[in-house]
Structure 1
């Protein structure tokens, strides 16, 4: 049995219809407590599920006013993960589709994202606690999903945030609608190629880490000789992660330039020292730190 995250929008209702036709499913709708209409929308989904003998639960959150989309998403996935574990579900499906993927790619291009960001929405990823998040509709177009819902005679929920001009996604959606040569299906296909390239690079870094990096106690070292910049960045990010640090790209670029120039430097809580092998250790406390 698979768990389904169903908001009541056309995309998730289409997923509900498609998935339940293939076998037993259990659905959940999250009420974030941020819109007064949300409870009624959740009950609407519950009624649709009840009419089809599909098990359904409403997960109620109490998020403070002013919670942003990223915070709401994090809270939603945390609640859905707990729900999956409580019901013995190892997979949770969401209704992200090709148009979502195209919008994501455009937004990340606009932000100057690297390869990992441009890979877009992954078809699956670990959610934690033995639960895998899957996106079975990632190759579907939104129009296809809306047609499925219309054919079933269902009236989907329309989330007002989807047309809120304050969000970048709204602008990306409008750009796609107004620009015929920006084909969402092709953009989504490009994101798939980028995801494959990202996976190939991570496969390579796994092997380079074993060959070039070493960790002993509170110190790590790395042989940077001849490494292309992208692979060097990824290896250094892994080393910094050992110290609980996640440096931003520009910070890491400045540190790398210093080391190539033969200069020691400190980034966050990590001191980096140049040489044939770059060494990384916990920086001594600054004066006044306790």
Structure 2
């Protein structure tokens, strides 16, 4: 890296992620853990959108030092006249799947604050290194195109709040240098080095294998995201022309469609009837059964084969009757 600090144009990156410029009356919340990445993002945001930025730090109450670290971020923000709030998670600790459950709790708190305070944009400091790690992790889990698309630049977090990741093309080392140049004192979260987490192992793999190019991996995820977007568009067209409702069931005409579209239609049909999404691997197995002429069940939905597939909610047995057997 050169001696000059790289300073991305955050307004341009936000516009690219959103597909439009940030409006003059929009307020932005910046998820600020206190790590160098989030502090760099906060610096960029405060400069690009003066007076419209609020830093939010979540204390999960998972580590004794977390409260003091959050207070330290608050003090640094106060010294720079940047609005800051600490959001504290109530409840017991997590016994398992700690990172995923902490992430879900964090986004719940951040999203709720944004709704209550009319901040329509929540931005996080996910960067190219995060994207590369995510891609490798999902490749190792045999993810499909949707999963391999990695971290999306923008998505609706909840009604009225858009989650934006404008720094996905930026490298971690450059963001750390920017935070240091701007005088921030970063927090070192030991969870980032905890060997129990899959991401820690992937991060070490990238650090010790220079042949794995972080920028190239992140770019591949971006290409896959574009492909997934095109596939979603095609699936919407197929849904409009190939799926219809009849007597409480969904009838799916999958004949002649590529398998990727078939699985998307099937996944949407199952979610529509069940009220919740199903895993891609389960959808693939169900599609294979139907394609082979066999019935199948998933998430309380029975699917029957034929020229037109029929999906309906399984019915409980009537009083005194026998429970219908599930298709094999």
What is the CA–CA distance in structure 1 between the aligned matches of 2:302 and 2:85, rounded to whole Å? 50
| Matching residue of 1:266 | 297
What is the Cα-based RMSD across aligned positions, in Å? 1.5
What is the CA–CA distance in structure 2 between the aligned matches of 1:154 and 1:263, rounded to whole Å? 61
What is the CA–CA distance in structure 2 between the aligned matches of 1:288 and 1:19, rounded to whole Å? 60
Alpha carbons 2:59, 2:70 under 8 Å: kept: yes
TM-score, length-normalised on structure 2?
0.85
| Matching residue of 2:43 | 17
Pairwise mapping of residues 204-219 of structure 1 onto structure 2 (< 5 A)? 204-219=234-249
What is the CA–CA distance in structure 1 between the aligned matches of 2:234 and 2:67, rounded to whole Å? 48
Distance 1:251 1:16, change over 3 A: closer
What is the CA–CA distance in structure 1 between the aligned matches of 2:94 and 2:300, rounded to whole Å? 32
- Superposed structure 1 runs of 4+ greater than 4 Å apart: 286-289
| Matching residue of 1:62 | 90
Select 1:231's aligned residue among 261, 264, 275.
261
What is the CA–CA distance in structure 2 between the aligned matches of 1:217 and 1:11, rounded to whole Å? 53
Select 2:308's aligned residue among 274, 277, 280.
277
SS state at 2:288 partner = helix
What is the CA–CA distance in structure 1 between the aligned matches of 2:33 and 2:294, rounded to whole Å? 53
Count residues in correspondence.
289
| Matching residue of 2:75 | 47
- Where structure 2 has 5 or more consecutive residues not aligned to the other structure, the ranges are 1-26
SS state at 1:169 partner = helix
Select 1:180's aligned residue among 207, 210, 222.
210
Alpha carbons 1:34, 1:63 under 8 Å: kept: no
Distance 1:260 1:152, change over 3 A: closer
Pairwise mapping of residues 1-290 of structure 1 onto structure 2 (< 5 A)? 1-23=27-49, 24=51, 25-67=53-95, 68-244=98-274, 245-285=276-316, 287=322
Higher mean alpha-carbon deviation, 193-202 vs 145-154, is at 145-154
Distance 1:208 1:129, change over 3 A: same
Alpha carbons 1:63, 1:72 under 8 Å: kept: no
What is the CA–CA distance in structure 2 between the aligned matches of 1:266 and 1:154, rounded to whole Å? 55
Alpha carbons 1:11, 1:142 under 8 Å: kept: yes
- Where structure 1 has 5 or more consecutive residues not aligned to the other structure, the ranges are none
What is the CA–CA distance in structure 1 between the aligned matches of 2:166 and 2:286, rounded to whole Å? 41
| Matching residue of 2:11 | none
